[in-house]
Structure 1
Amino acid sequence: MFDTAARRLLDPPLSGLAGLLDRPGVTPNGLTLLGLATGLASAATAAGRLWWWALALWVFSRLMDGLDGPLARRRRAAARGGEEGPRPEAGGFLDITADFVVYGATVIGVAVGATAQYEVGWLPFLGVLFAYYINGAAFLAFSSIAERTGRQRDDGRSLSFLGGLAEGTETVAVHALWLLVPVHSGTIATVWAGVVGISAAQRIVAGFRDLS
């Protein structure tokens, strides 16, 4: 829901940071992998109930995820004399795959830690994972079919994204929120599962209409 506004707000500072990182040895795929590693570390520290460490690692992980795209665009523009070339499919594939791994792992990590420390039930987190599964299936299927039929939505990202109530901005915020207040993580997960479920329904309807 807030991705478009967030991108307008964050693109200038992220592009500036990407310029500072544009040095030999620093690659967009390297930033993606660093985001993946620190995201998994966040999940592990959450499982170990080291909540502040988990939060710091989560924020750093998502920062790396936000920087790989601007750095990639900067490199492509420089390589083509200022004209941005085709989107790097391999990098986009790596990025979205890493996001799926990190999101799923952090849900499990919070569930393990909160269940052990606060006796929070597993069911809300299973609901979140199920809703993520439906969302992922909907937008990946849409992206693939839309690309093949020439009906893709091009907003500069590697895949055609269907908007919804819950997007990347909201996901980052909610994952940070239950690391801030893990005692309430079960309630947060219950509400979030409902919101993501509504988004899944929105994407299914929108994707079907677009492809009809």
Structure 2
Amino acid sequence: MLDRWTLTLTKPPLKRLARGCDQQGIRANQVTLAGFALGMLVMPLLAFQLYSLALIAVLLNRLADGLDGELARLQGATDGGALLDIVLDFIFYAAVVAGFALANPADNALAAAFLLWGFMGTASSFLAYAILAERRKLSSMTYPSKGFYYLEGLAEGTETIAFLVAMCLFPGHFAGLAWAFFGLCVITTATRVVGGYHSLKDDPATDHQDG
């Protein structure tokens, strides 16, 4: 929901950083993989309740996620790079939630399980529509530079980052934050499924019947 505004603020400094990286011969996929490796440190850090270090890992991962996109646009975006970007993002998000479950299973595990369920809804609705949008040669007017159709919702990248940061800053409130974000994920999934279905149902290439 907030991505359209936050992107206008973050793009200029990321573009400048991307130009510097490009001059040093750094490739977009290298940044993607390095950011993912840093991000995956979040799970053991959270498991040992090292919340400040976990927050740094989250922020570095998100910085790399923004930087690799700008580098890709400078160097030439590829389908392989877009695949790495989105898949590793979802793995990272799930790793943060799993880390909080490990940190305090008694208080956090149930909320973490439901939040992961919510992530399944947002991820599947997002990616399923992207596949069908590609089949119909649709492009997002809101996010035309994305490597895939960027279907909007209440729970987008900005909201996800905000909740992950809040969880690291206030780990004792993880369960409440997770339940709140789960609610946003449910609403996002429902609106994407309903809106996506109605936008695609009349196309014979995508309107499939079971059985």
TM-score exceeds 0.5: yes
1:138 to 100, 114, 125: 125
Bigger shift: 15-24 or 125-134? Answer: 15-24
- Show the counterpart of 2:162: 173
2:48 paired with 1:48 = yes
- Cα distance between partner residues in 1 of 2:139 and 2:20: 33
- Show the counterpart of 1:148: 135
- Cα distance between partner residues in 2 of 1:152 and 1:22: 27
Amino acid aligned to 1:112: L
- Show the counterpart of 2:204: none
TM-score (ref. length: structure 1)? 0.90
Amino acid aligned to 1:30: Q
- Show the counterpart of 2:85: 95
Once the two structures are superposed, the pairs formed by residues 26-105 of structure 1 within 5 Å of their partners are 26-76=26-76, 87-105=77-95
Where 1:165 maps in the other structure, the secondary structure is coil
Q: Does the Cα contact within 8 Å between 1:162 and 1:206 map onto a contact in 2?
A: no
CA-CA distance at 1:125 after TM superposition: 0.9
Cα deviation digits, residues 136-183 of structure 1 (max 9, x gap) = 111111111111122342521111121111100110110111011101
- Show the counterpart of 2:208: none
Counting aligned pairs with the same residue, the percent is 35
CA-CA distance at 1:24 after TM superposition: 4.0
- Cα distance between partner residues in 1 of 2:25 and 2:108: 45
1:202 to 191, 199, 205: 191
CA-CA distance at 1:33 after TM superposition: 0.5
Amino acid aligned to 2:128: A
CA-CA distance at 1:127 after TM superposition: 0.9
Query: For structure 1, which runs of at least 5 residues remain unmatched after alignment?
Result: 77-86
Cα deviation digits, residues 21-66 of structure 1 (max 9, x gap) = 1234411001100111111001220111111000011101110011
- Show the counterpart of 2:109: 122
Q: Does the Cα contact within 8 Å between 2:31 and 2:68 map onto a contact in 1?
A: yes
Query: For structure 2, which runs of at least 5 residues remain unmatched after alignment?
Result: 202-211
Q: Does the Cα contact within 8 Å between 2:140 and 2:150 map onto a contact in 1?
A: yes
- Cα distance between partner residues in 2 of 1:88 and 1:9: 25
Provide the aligned C-alpha RMSD in A. 1.3
- Cα distance between partner residues in 2 of 1:134 and 1:104: 13
Amino acid aligned to 1:53: L
Q: Does the Cα contact within 8 Å between 1:135 and 1:200 map onto a contact in 2?
A: yes
- Cα distance between partner residues in 2 of 1:188 and 1:203: 22
TM-score (ref. length: structure 2)? 0.90
Where 1:135 maps in the other structure, the secondary structure is helix
- Cα distance between partner residues in 2 of 1:165 and 1:192: 10
